[in-house]
Structure 1
């Protein structure tokens, strides 16, 4: 994989890429990096005839820190659209997102649908399914990091002892049984080790799900305007059976698949937790490549 840097939407983003052909833009989540989350998918997509590009989110080293007060969700969406331009994407481009990258994907493909031919997302379903879940007892308990990250103390706890808390939550909660999260954690620690970068990463939650705004009519209107619509493109949604943040059962997965446009699919990845692309790369890659190559 080749490393590079490109300036989009006012911020210089670092990325890895491999391959030639239509653009495949791969968006990661918290607290990861593009290169780590998609270390298996990038070469697989390159072999399948795509130009796979996996950037690091703004603020996540070695990408630049954004100016101002951290990261806003609509900036992530504009970053995705800017990357499409920077890599000369056209209507044959595909977009792949995990976690925050999935939310960004849902928004990017509905804001400017003509840019994307197919959509792949994992681990965070469309907002019309995620929002009701987040308001349930189970959702509140499983998404407790949303609330913990609002606290000033979170920065101190996450930074302490070489970020050992982050390792524990990634190993014990965010990944499935028997998965060794060490490589993903080391990439996350490298991306967020500096205090300013950790603060920027936490602003994902503080700026976009803050305690004084979340659930208000204005907040709901803003969020649904960003990622409340469903894609018009064929979409593949993948979810780990051992996801302890966003827990779905078969009925919920079937409902998601039924709501997506014709030609879409939704599947569980058996044994995976919340970081599906890294945890079960063989099955994940196989499903992604098969979906992108099938006739619809």
Structure 2
């Protein structure tokens, strides 16, 4: 696997022991010590999803650190569901900074990785220098736990709810259809809310006629497929199984994020834009790119340009 990733131009990983687990971490721009940027992948992804951003950021002078977060790749996959709550996920990133002796860093997140970055800024604001998040906007806590709210609005079959109500069911389906699921998912402009949104993940796992054009070639896709065939999907899905737990853990936390923030949306993504973002992230800039959910893989050059231009203003 390491040789394969390296042959595709991605750096070889290190296995780092932190926070009671092991994380598989990829690095570039080690010569740029003192200028860290941490890239956090989403679901169901891999550090390799940042393959287009890593060399561009290293060339721009950043020490690029890209972990496979717990439950992914060759990182630890604890058995306990609660080992994937937001406290553990954000503490992993804090421990990663400690490992490199960094007080803080720029954090970049996509999808679930963005959720972790938003909450890292709430739980450990002193460790976050700037934020760049893709696809998933800030999530207002609301009056009801998130899964309870989604169940009331979307029903039992909505995949967030299904993951929580049917323990092990989706895990087994995705494990059995790993390659087909990932091949069907990573396509341009795949809607997150098709006519049967509840069973989206299982539908994608079994669909014979996938929607949209692929966003990666077979060599790139094989990195994801081999990683999930090795780890399984249980750890990744367990992130969803902590959403209500996270809601309670965040009860007494100041919800305002003060760090400079760039929010990047895909105009064709079915995740809605959060119009009240300035209420919770007052120091934020927002841009939209003409793409779907997998922004940094669908439009890599435009994503790189957006990130680097935004960061450049702080170096002037």
- Structure 1 counterpart of 2:140: 128
Shift of the alpha carbon at 1:186? 3.1
Is 1:266 aligned to residue 276 of structure 2? no
1:101 equivalent in alignment to 2:120: no
Distance 1:88 1:14, change over 3 A: same
Secondary structure in structure 2 of the residue aligned to 1:149: helix
How far apart are residue 85 of structure 1 and its match? 0.9
TM-score, structure 1 normalization: 0.81
User: Shift of residue 224 of structure 1?
Assistant: 4.6
The aligned length equals 276
C-alpha separation in 1, matches of 2:180 and 2:211 = 18
Distance change (3 Å), C-alpha of 1:181 and 1:173: farther
164, 187, 194: which one aligns with 2:180:
164
Matches within 5 A, 1:180-191: 180-182=215-217, 185-191=221-227
2:52 alignment counterpart = 40
Aligned mates of 1:64, 1:173 — CA distance in 2: 31
Change (3 A) 1:167 1:223: farther
Q: Does 1:247 align with 2:272?
A: yes
- Give structure 2 stretches of 5+ with no counterpart: 1-10, 193-209
Matched, 1:192 2:192: no
Q: More displaced, 274-283 or 107-116?
A: 107-116
Tell me what 2:127 maps to: 115
Are positions 1:256 and 2:277 aligned together?
yes
Unaligned segments of structure 1, at least 5 residues: none
8 Å CA contact 1:9, 1:79 repeated in 2: yes
Structure-2 change in CA distance of 1:126 and 1:161 (3 Å): closer
- Distance in 2 between the 1:8 and 1:180 partners? 33
